[in-house]
Structure 1
Amino acid sequence: MGGRHVLRARQLIEGTLTGLDGGDLVRAARTVVAELGSAERLVPLVTELASGRGDPSGCAPLSYRHVLGFDKLLLVGAGAHHRLRAHVWHPGTVRAGHEDIHNHRSPLASYVVRGRLGMELYETAGDGALTAARYRESLSADVNDWLLEPAGSARLRLTQTAEYAAGSGYALSPYALHRAWCAAPGTTVTLFLETGVGRRRYTDVFTGAAAGRAERAQAYAKEPLGVAEYLEELRRLAELVGEGGRLERARPA
């Protein structure tokens, strides 16, 4: 199990994030994911993983086609439940589009490796322009389903709209409400670092589709990848990030 680049990634994540919390953790996570997202670090890491090094039998069951519209591939697990993932956004697919507005279980950081990601930040506000149905999202005991339970309604206010090109990124506290989408005509790849500190039991999900209230109040099954499919996705990812790295280096100063 493992390999030189997998070990280096684990050491960087654990060595940097251990003992941190709050704003220090958020800032450190952003620094780590930007370093790991550089072509010099990410291309050999994904290439090594695609060859079968690392923990494919452990990572494949935690990798899947996410209901919010992207492929979620676990690359490295480290320390206190820190997880380094690749998110692959495919424009033009049935699932492509804007996510629901949501927050997360723990602090996170994301770095755009290829393409472009759009994002909006929101806050709850009594005079907010957007009326949304609110759900509490948790995981079933066997972590195979997303459980969405109605939690009333809310009014939301848009506070920021941003677009992140390759080479840029962001970090968020677990309570930050946001949604993201592929803002490029081609495939967008982001490196996503989910920290394991102060992990919440549930998240909040908001949707403006009032007619979907009854329909959404149910469990959504995850469909994890098999090991062979996971390795094939890693091989495709290696091609994408390798091409992205060559494009970045080819750009004039």
Structure 2
Amino acid sequence: MSELGLPDTILACLFDLDGVVTKTAAVHAAAWKETFDAFLRAHEGAGARPFDAVADYDEYVDGRPRADGVRTFLASRGIHLPEGAPDDPPDARTVHGVGNRKNELLLAKIRTGGVEAYEGTLRYLEAVRAHGLRTAIVSSSANCRDVLRAVGAEHFFDVRVDGLVAAERGLPGKPHPDTFLAAARDLGVEAGRAAVFEDALAGMDAGRAGRFGYVVGIDRVGQADALYAHGADVVVADLAELGGKQ
């Protein structure tokens, strides 16, 4: 398995979506910033400290289910909102309302700018499949299938565990390992024989907590040290680099 940069014991690969397969992490960060900045101005006034699309996004939001991201970031500012309901309107001052506003902005940005895949990841997926390894996409996004279809990548994955599947099964999201563990079970593979591919710190935490056989961190924003600190076995800038290791 040296040509894939993985231990020979690995039988399956579990991939995050945003920032790993598709170039949507920056779009998510921009949508969160617009959402939180407007909320903070309304809550605290014009002098409110804005959302940091790098530091706050990485620490409190990236990789987490939408509602968890709202709760975690606002709690860091000492703000606690009522939960509300999943179908709350995007102007509701509830956890779900704020989350729905972010999703509304995200979809608008995707419609305007489109979605791109990382070519290095697509080539790596082709190599993984050619070697007979099983594959799953594991994402907190409820838009996962639509995004995969938009970039023509749905066929690369045997199993999909996304925000919709997690809600149906009652699975807690990252940094809990439950969605990755569910994907491994669906593939018929023990966690110790599966590799996790993530760009988010919460994803690293999930890989470590789930005792997966190998955890690959993809560093798109210059946080290699943090990815290692949160449990990565190896960190690469692009999966083409991992695939080139001998």
Same fold by TM (over 0.5)?
Answer: no
Compare the two structures and name the one with the higher helix fraction: 2
Q: Which has the higher contact order (CA 8 A, sep 6+)?
A: 1
TM range (shorter): under 0.3
